Each structure stands twice: as structure tokens, then as C-alpha cells.
Amino acid sequence: MAAAAALGWLGMYVHNVADLPHLTLASPENLIPGLIWLLLLGLWWAKPSRTLPTYLLMTWGLLNLVGGFATVIPLPIWPFKPEQSLRHYSFHVLYALTQLPLLALVRRELSVFRKDHQCTS
């Protein structure tokens, strides 16, 4: 799970470096999501019953997956004007794809929770 979470953050970071080269690791656009990944992963690791942290990781992964695609669309709600180029689209695809391993692990873990719950009910 840790490697999948790190990959998800790395996808976001690579996108940000390609899109906004002036950002550093300590920039809020990189640091805050990284801290959220760490917090959620820490909760997942520390909780004896991992159901809630797993759902939180799933939510964060889905938010990044959807955000990876939605923020490339030039919508009037964005406070920025997204670049409309193949290069920019490819970094958004990379960002979205790096969320998939986490979502696959979460799905597998949640299906185990459901099976265990059904067996004990």
C-alpha cells in the first residue's frame, strides 16, 4: 500500500514539475497533497480495523484520478487556464494512471473486508 500511495503522489509531483517548473518539493501544491498521502497511509497502517482508512485512501485516490482528468478541461470554474496540448494531456494521463495501483489495492482490500464480514455475520 505504501508503494502505491507513493506512486500516486509521484504522479502528481511529476505532473506539477512538468507543468509548473518553478515549484519545489516544499511548495504547497506538492507538500500538502504529500502530507495528506502520508496521513492517510499512517492511519491505514496504525488502525487495527483498516476499513475507514482504506475508504479514505480510496476517496483520495479517486479524487486524484478524477482531478487528473477534470483539470485539463478548460472550464470557467478553474482559477487557471489549462494548457491544451498533447504534452500537457500526456502528463495528466500519467498522473491519472499512477492512481490506479492504489485503487486496485484498495478494491482488493475492501473485497476481503466484505468477505470476512459476510463469513462472521
Q: What's residue 44's pLDDT?
A: 92
* pLDDT recorded at residue 20: 86
Provide the 10 A C-beta neighbour count for residue 121.
5
Share of the chain above pLDDT 90, in %: 64
Of 64, 58, 60, the residue nearest 95 (C-alpha): 64
46, pLDDT greater than 80: yes
- The 8-class DSSP code of residue 80 comes to S
Average pLDDT over residues 24-44: 94
Residue 73's pLDDT is what?
Answer: 86
In this prediction, residue 98 has a pLDDT band, given cuts at 50, 70 and 90, of very high
Cell representation of residue 36? 495528506
**Cα separations (Å) of 31 from 16, 22, 48, 105?**
11, 14, 28, 24
Please give the radius of gyration of the chain, using alpha carbons only, rounded to the nearest integer.
16
Split at pLDDT 50, 70, 90, the class of 67 is: confident
Q: What is the pLDDT of residue 36?
A: 96
Domain boundaries, the chain: 2-120
